Structure 1
Amino acid sequence: MMHSRSNIRTRGAAILAVGVLLLTACSSSEPEEPDDTAADPGGTSDAVAAAEAFLGPWLGEGDKNLLIDEPLDAPVEPGTHVVYLDVGTPVSAVMWGNLQAPAELLGLKLERIEVGRDAQSINSAMNTVVELEPDGIINITLDPIFFESQIDQLEELGIPMASGSVMNTVEFGLPEAFNGPDWMIANGEALGAAAIQRSGGAEEIVFYNVPEFPFSSYELEGVESKIGDLCPDCTLRVVDIPIAELGSTASDRVVSDLQANPQTEYFIAAVDEVQIGLPPKLDLAGIEVPGIGMWTAPPNYEQIGAGDQDATLSVDLALMMWTVLDQLLREMGDQDYEWPDVATRASTLTRITEQANVPEDPVVGYIAIPDYQDRFAANWLVE
C-alpha cells in the first residue's frame, strides 16, 4: 500500500472568521472550567463556519440552466452513429444507461465499445472504433495518451470526440471537456470543505486517490488547497487505491489503512466506488470514521439513505451525459459554443448529498434541473 504524506501546516493563511462568537468567562470563586478555545487557538469552530460559508453553492439550491443553452443549427439526422467508450467501472455503466433516453429522443444509433483497462486492450478497442467510422464518439475518463495514434486517424476521417472527466483533451487536439482540470479542482475544494464541516473540524484526514484516473490528482489539488486555507494545522494523508481494486478489494484497503492509522478522523474518496460495501466492513473492524466521495453510484445512495455512509458530492450524471452529447452534436455540426465559468459549471452539476436529501431513486440519482429533458429537446429542435 502506497502512502504519501502532505502536511498542510505550511500552507499558512489565517482561517476566515465567519460568524465567530467570542466567549468571555465570568469571574467566580469556583475553579474555572478549561477553556477549549484557549487550547485550540484559532478554534475549529472558525474552520467549520468558513467551510459552511464556502459550501453554499454546493447545496443544490436556486435555479440552474443548461451549460450551453442555445439551439442547434439543424436537427440531428435519425440513424446518426455514436460510439460510447466504456472503461468498465460501475459509474461508466450508469453513464451508458443515461445515454439511452437522449439517443431514443434523437433516433441515434448508439454503440457501446468496451475498451478495457490495459494499453493492449485499449489499442485494440480503439482500432475497432476507427474501423466502425461512426459519426461521433463519447469518451468518459479514458486518457487520450492511450490512443494517440487513433486520434490522428479519427481526425483524418472527420470524426469528432466529446469527453467527460478527461483532463488533457486540448493537449491531444480534442475539444475541451466542460469538466476538465479547473472543474475537478473546484469540486475537490468542495470535498475538502465538506470534510471540515461535516466532521465538526477534523484535523487528521486521509484522501483515497485512484492514480489511474487523471482527474483524481486534480481533486486532490483542490482538497489540499481548501483544507490548507481552512485549517493550516490539519494533516492530510494520501493513499493510492489501484483502479483494478474498484468493485473488489478497495474497501478492504480502506479498512486496513484506517486500522493502521487510528488517528484518522475523516476520509475523502476520489471516487465513491471506494465506499461501496465499506460500511459493514468498518463495523466489523470496530472503526467509526465517516467519509465523503464523488462520482456516486446507486449503492452509495442506498448506503446514505440507510445512514451507513455519511455523504457524497453528487454529480448529476444524467445532466452530464446529455451535456456531453450536446457538445458532440455541436462538434459534429461544426457549430460554435462556449462553456460558462468554472464556478457555474461546477455548482450546476454537483451537490452535497446526505441522508436528509438523498434521492428517492438511487438509480436516477441527483437531478439538478428537473425539466432538463424538455430543455434539451427544444435546443435539439425535436418536434
Structure 2
Amino acid sequence: MHRPTRKILRSAAVVTVGALLLTSCSSTLDDEPVEPDADGDSSAAVEAANEFLEPWLGGAEKNLLIDEPLSEPIAPGTHVVYLDVGTPVSAVMWDNLQEPAQLLGLDLERVETGRDAQSINAAMNTVVELEPDGVINITLDPIFFEGQIAQLEALGVPVASGSVMNTVEFGLPEAFNGPDWMTMNGEVLGAAAISRSGGASEFVFYNVPEFPFSSYELDGVKSRISDLCPDCTLRVVDIPIAELGSTASDRVVSDLQANPGTEYFIAAVDEVQIGLPQKLSLAGLDVDGIAMWPAPPNYEQLAAGDQDATLSVDLNLMMWTVLDQLLREMNGQEYEWPDTLTRASTLTRITDEENAPEDPVLGYVAIDDFRDRFAANWLVD
C-alpha cells in the first residue's frame, strides 16, 4: 500500500547535481532466449515477439489504475502547479490537464523549469514561494531540486510525478510509471522492432540521456532483443534533449547514412521522428522505426503511412492518473498500484497506419469513458 510520503530520503548514490540515474533494471519476464530455426531464418523470433506483444495490440478491456473514490471531495480553488520542462510532449500534457482541472475547479498554474540546473533551481524557488496545494512533475529529475523538495515537505505540499525514475529515493510518492514500467515498455519496443522488421538483425536505439527514463527503456530493449535474437546487434546513439523539436531528425539521418547496415531503429521518444520520414526520403534512405510518447505530428505521419509505428501512450489517461494520485496524496489517502504488466498495457498500445487515431490531437484513447469514471471517483456531482 502507498501512503502519502513526506520524509526526505537522500540517495547514497548521488554524488553531483548533474548526475543522472542510470541504474539497470532486469527484465520483467523470465523468458528463455529464442533458438533460431534450423535453416537459420528468423521466423521463431518473430513468432515469439508477436506472442509477447499480445497485451499491447488492443482489444482487451482496461480499467483505471486506482479505481476507488476519494476519501473526500477536493475543494474548488485548490492550487496545483505543473512543472513544464519545455518539450513538445510536455506542452501536450499541460493541455491534457485543462479538462480535469476545470472539472474539479482547480487553480492550475504552469511554471516553466528550463533545462539547466540554474534555471530549474530558480523555477523551483518560485514554486516554493507560491505555496501551492500540490505539484505535478513530469520527467524532471528530483536530483535537481532536492532542497526545494525539503521546503515543500515542510509546507505540507505533496508532489506527484510521471516518468520520473527515482521518486522514492527523494521521499516522493512512487510514480505509477517508474523504472519497472519504463523497462517493460522498452521490452515492447524491442519486441516490436523484431516483429515489424520481419526479423531484422541490425538495430539502433536513439537515447536521450537527459531523460532519466530513457536508460530504462534501453534496458528493456536490450533485454527483449537479446532474448528473441541472441545474435542481433544493437547500437546506441545519444540525442541531446535540446535537439528535440529541432535537429534530432537530422542527427538520425546522419547516423543512418554512416551505418548503412542498420535495418530498423528504436527511439526513446517519438519527438525524434517528427519530420523524419521526409528527410529520410530526401536522403534516399528506407529505414523504418518505432518510438514512444507520440505527439500529434507523429499521429499525422502514421495516418499518412509515412511513419511505421509508435508505442502510443494515452496521455490524457496518464495525466488524469497523475492528478488522481496527487488528489489522494493531498487527502492523506492510501492507495495501491496494480502490477507492472497491468500498468504498462493499460496506458500503452502499438499504433500504426491501420489503427492511427482519427484525431491526432486527442491521440490514443485507452478507456472510452475514463472521464465519467474519474468524475465518479472524484465525487464530482
Q: Same fold (TM over 0.5)?
A: yes
Q: Hey, what's the Cα distance between the residues in 2 that align with 1:214 and 1:145?
A: 11
In the TM superposition, 1:58-69 aligns within 5 A as 58-69=56-67
Q: Quick check: 2:49–2:191 contact (8 Å CA) kept in 1?
A: yes
Q: Is the 8 A contact 2:136 2:326 kept in 1?
A: yes
Q: Distance in 2 between matches of 1:14 and 1:346?
A: 23
Equivalence map 1:104-119=2 (5 Å) = 104-119=102-117
Task: Specify the code of the residue in structure 2 equivalent to 1:349.
Answer: L
Find the counterpart in structure 2 of residue 4 from structure 1: none
In 2, distance between residues paired with 1:304 and 1:193?
Answer: 19
Unaligned 5+ residue runs, structure 1? 1-11, 21-36
Counterpart of 1:364 in structure 2 is 362
Per-residue displacement from partner, 1:328-361 (whole Å, max 9, x unpaired)? 0000000000000000000000000000000000
Give how far 1:191 is off. 0.2
Structure 2 match to 1:225: 223
2:372 paired residue number: 374
Q: Which letter maps to 1:332? A: M
In 2, the alpha carbon distance for the partners of 1:77 and 1:63 equals 32
- The residue that corresponds to 1:195 in the other structure is 193
Q: Would you say the 8 A contact 2:184–2:341 is kept in 1?
A: yes
Equivalent in the alignment of 2:321 = 323
In structure 2, the partner of 1:170 is 168
The alpha carbon displacement at 1:14 in A equals 3.8
Q: Measure the CA separation in 2 of the matches of 1:13 and 1:167.
A: 27
| Shift in Å, 1:62 | 1.2
CA distance in structure 2 between the partners assigned to 1:62 and 1:14 by the alignment: 27
Partner of 2:14: none
Helix, strand or coil for the counterpart of 1:99? Answer: helix
Q: Distance in 1 between matches of 2:133 and 2:33?
A: 53
Whichever residue aligns with residue 234 of structure 1, its letter is C
> Are the counterparts in 1 of residues 33 and 226 from structure 2 also a CA contact under 8 Å?
no
Task: Find out whether 1:15 has 2:21 as its counterpart.
Answer: no
1:16 Cα offset (Å): 6.3
Give the partner amino acid of 2:34.
I
Aligned length: 351
Matched residue, 1:134: 132
Cα deviation, 1:200-222, whole Å, max 9, x if unaligned, reads: 00100000000000000000000
Of residues 152, 155, 175, the one that matches 1:154 is 152
Q: Is the 8 A contact 2:167 2:175 kept in 1?
A: yes
Superposition misfits of 4+ residues, deviation over 2 angstroms: none
CA RMSD in angstroms comes to 1.1
Q: Map 1:93-104; keep pairs closer than 5 Å.
A: 93-104=91-102
Amino acid at match of 2:305: G
In 2, Cα distance between equivalents of 1:378 and 1:266:
44
CA deviation profile, 1:294-333 (whole Å, cap 9, x unmatched): 0000000000111110000000000000000000000000
Bigger Rg, which one: 1
Cα offset, 1:13, TM superposition: 4.7
TM-score (norm 1): 0.91
**Mind listing any 5+ residue stretches in structure 2 that lack a counterpart?**
1-30
